[in-house]
């Protein structure tokens, strides 16, 4: 059995859950994990369990993080490893850097982490690798993962995803949209907005806010009032999307403007299903937690590692497939 320790405010029941992706995920990484299941059990029983640390920038208030964390936990359970999970209560680069330093000091058998600021995190991650700690980068940091010596990257290409979102909005007839960036400086969010605005050849505008829901809604409403020709809104995540859904509904504006988002929440999926939102971009964050732990375990035990980055997204969730995804969201996998 694995032992998972969580330093966030979220609770962990310790209940082993079935993994619905085990038959659906293809490729050598997971195929190897399945084929070696018997020997994994023997390793877990006959030796001290491997100890991994996962560090992410995903704040506790973001529903995205619950699914990501479940992926970590399920993989740790299946691979018979101990896992310590850390994330800040609020996004804080300095706090994350301290978490990385503390992790290096414990000499874990592997480190899985996000890199929302490549310039800030590159050196400490290099230090971890130099200390003999295998590293898998997930969710953010694709542009630097290979350069610093990480085993691989698990996530989506953010610029490409942003551009795809812009192209889909253009197909819907949108001409003058805005991109809501609630954490300017985070590389993945900046890349999404850049791809989105590039798809519109500069006619799209970025609105920068904080992560405070009131600040987000006030900034968006102020822009819509001052620029009535705005005909599309792209949110970069549930921290902005959910309060905007509530605000637009209270204003009677849902369905009156093309509205789309990155990432999923119950509120988002219901709005997409009901035709109030154009689409949601799904990066399958369960896999972003699950696959790095599988990868680290296989590398430690057998020297196996992927030769390419693993792309978990983007996928478009539309009115046609939202109901199916809602069911999986209720189960905690999407």
Residues 201-244: pLDDT tens digits?
988 999 999 999 999 999 999 999 999 999 999 999 999 999 99
Judge whether 53 and 103 are in contact, CB under 8 Å: yes
Each residue of 2-36: pLDDT tens digit? 555 555 433 333 333 444 444 344 444 544 444 45
| Cis bond upstream, residue 37 (ω within 30) | no
> What band does 46 get if pLDDT is binned at 50, 70 and 90?
very low
For residue 249, what are the contacts with CB-CB under 8 A and spacing of at least 6?
none
The structural domains of the chain, ordered by start, are 3-156+283-313 (3.40.50.2300), 158-282 (3.40.50.2300)
Question: DSSP alpha helices (H): ranges in the chain?
Answer: 28-35, 37-46, 63-79, 93-105, 118-130, 142-148, 158-171, 187-199, 213-226, 238-250, 266-273, 285-302, 322-330
């Amino acid at each position: 059995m694995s032992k998972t320790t969580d330093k966030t405010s979220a609770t962990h029941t310790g209940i082993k859950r079935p993994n619905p992706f085990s038959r659906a995920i293809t490729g050598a990484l997971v195929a190897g994990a399945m084929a070696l299941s018997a020997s994994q059990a023997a390793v877990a029983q006959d030796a001290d369990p491997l100890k991994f640390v996962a560090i992410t920038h995903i704040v506790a208030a973001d529903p995205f993080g619950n699914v990501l964390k479940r992926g970590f936990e399920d993989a740790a359970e299946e691979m018979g490893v101990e896992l310590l999970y850390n994330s800040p209560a609020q996004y804080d680069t300095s706090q994350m850097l301290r978490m990385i330093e503390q992790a290096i000091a414990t000499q874990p058998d592997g480190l899985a982490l996000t890199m929302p600021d490549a310039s800030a995190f590159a050196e400490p991650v290099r230090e971890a690798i130099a200390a003999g700690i295998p590293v898998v980068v997930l969710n953010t940091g694709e542009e630097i993962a290979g350069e610093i010596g990480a085993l691989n990257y698990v996530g989506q290409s953010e610029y490409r995803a942003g551009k795809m979102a812009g192209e889909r909005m253009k197909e819907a007839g949108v001409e003058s949209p805005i991109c809501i960036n609630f954490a300017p400086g985070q590389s993945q969010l900046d890349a999404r907005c850049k791809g989105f605005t590039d798809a519109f050849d500069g006619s799209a505008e970025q609105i920068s806010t904080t992560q405070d829901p009131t600040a987000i809604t006030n900034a968006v409403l102020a822009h819509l009032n001052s620029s009535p020709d705005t005909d599309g809104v792209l949110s970069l995540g549930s921290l902005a999307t959910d309060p905007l859904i509530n605000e637009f509904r209270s204003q009677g504006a849902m369905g009156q403007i093309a509205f789309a988002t990155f990432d999923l929440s119950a509120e988002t999926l219901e709005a997409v299903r009901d035709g109030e939102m154009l689409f949601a971009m799904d990066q399958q964050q369960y896999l972003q937690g699950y696959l790095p732990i599988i990868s680290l375990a296989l590398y430690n035990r057998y020297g196996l590692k992927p030769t390419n980055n693993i792309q978990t997204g983007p996928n478009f969730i539309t009115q046609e497939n939202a109901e199916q995804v809602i069911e999986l969201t209720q189960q905690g996998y999407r």
